[in-house]
Amino acid sequence: MTAEAAKSAGSGLKQRAVTAALLVPLAVVAVLFVPNPWFALWLCLLCSFAIVEWARLVGWRTLSLQLVVGAVGAALMAAVWFGGDRALRTALAVGVCWWPLAGLWLANYSFGEQLRKRYLTLKTLAGLLSVVPAWSAAVLLHADESQGRRWVMFALVLVWCADVFAYFAGRAFGRTKIAPRISPGKTRAGVFGALSASVVFAAAAGTVLGQRGTGLLLLIALSLVTVMFSIVGDLFESLIKRHSKVKDSGAVFPGHGGVFDRLDSLFAALPVFVAGKLLLGI
């Protein structure tokens, strides 16, 4: 790396750190202190904005059409909310089924690359399938009156830790790319760093949350699976950005890109984590 490139990378990292330092406290307050209905509304607005970005990303060219797609996403989330617990769980199940299919899409890079109407429709649907179930998972978990809010924080910090350690492990030791056509920056070392961080975090935070013995081991295993799917979510958005030949979904957050860029990993991780937690009885 040249001196100029190193300086640019350092500047970008500093900008990302400053933005994160401002955003993380807001997320913590929203999760821990906002009542569930207002949390659902706040998250719905954030997710709707992400869907608008997605609409622009996949090829809806006018702002009015992008806003229509965002409104469809908001309407779906509203319908799930008014459908109650059963609707939230159904949307959660849809998300769990969707992400393995997204993984198969990653193995077929060229599928949907052409600018055709049927692919625009398919990619729009993919965005809705990515966002709405994740919103449902977060709201369902947050509504748990015992430790629901703490578990939401657990899921968020789990993915954040994985992202941070993947970044630094990749920069320090990354040689072998895992998907060079989709995301040249993703390496095996980065994946190993993410998984290692998830084990350490899950063991420590799980103990604080009262998990012991088999429960703690199950939580660590679920965390590993969750982080693997978070990587799929990150790669899937990268694939669509490659198709569209853009770097970021937006420019809302300096150094971080758009809302969808910041939430892509969580969109895949949340349904898997919440469904696994329910199934395993953690």
The span from the CA of 20 to the CA of 146, in Å, is: 29
Output the DSSP codes for the chain: --HHHHHHHHHHHHHHHHHHHHHHHHHHHHHHHS-HHHHHHHHHHHHHHHHHHHHHHHT--SHHHHHHHHHHHHHHHHHHHHTHHHHHHHHHHHHHHHHHHHHHHHTSTTTT-S--HHHHHHHHHHHHHHHHHHHHHHHHHHT-TTTHHHHHHHHHHHHHHHHHHHHHHHHHH--SBS-TTT-TT-BHHHHHHHHHHHHHHHHHHHHHTT--HHHHHHHHHHHHHHHHHHHHHHHHHHHHHHHHT-S-S--SBTTTB-HHHHHHHHHHHHHHHHHHHHHHT-
pTM over 0.85: yes
Backbone angles phi, psi at 232, to 5 degrees: -60, -45
- Note down pLDDT in tens along the chain; length 282 residues: 444 444 444 445 666 666 667 778 888 899 999 999 999 999 999 999 999 999 999 999 899 999 999 999 999 999 999 999 999 999 999 999 999 999 999 999 888 888 788 899 999 999 999 999 999 999 999 999 889 999 999 999 999 999 999 989 988 888 889 988 898 888 999 999 999 999 999 999 999 999 999 999 999 999 999 999 999 999 999 999 999 888 877 666 655 578 898 899 999 999 999 999 999 998
Q: What is the pLDDT of residue 165?
A: 93
Return the half-sphere exposure (C-beta side, CA atoms, 13 A cut-off) of residue 204.
Answer: 9
Q: What is the pLDDT of residue 116?
A: 81
Backbone angles phi, psi at 34, to 5 degrees: -90, 130
Q: What is the pLDDT of residue 113?
A: 81
The span from the CA of 229 to the CA of 235, in Å, is: 10
Q: Specify the long-range contacts of residues 21-30, CB closer than 8 Å, at least 24 apart.
A: 23/253, 23/262, 24/160, 27/156, 28/153
Q: Considering only CA atoms, which of 276, 279, 275 is closest in space to residue 90?
A: 275
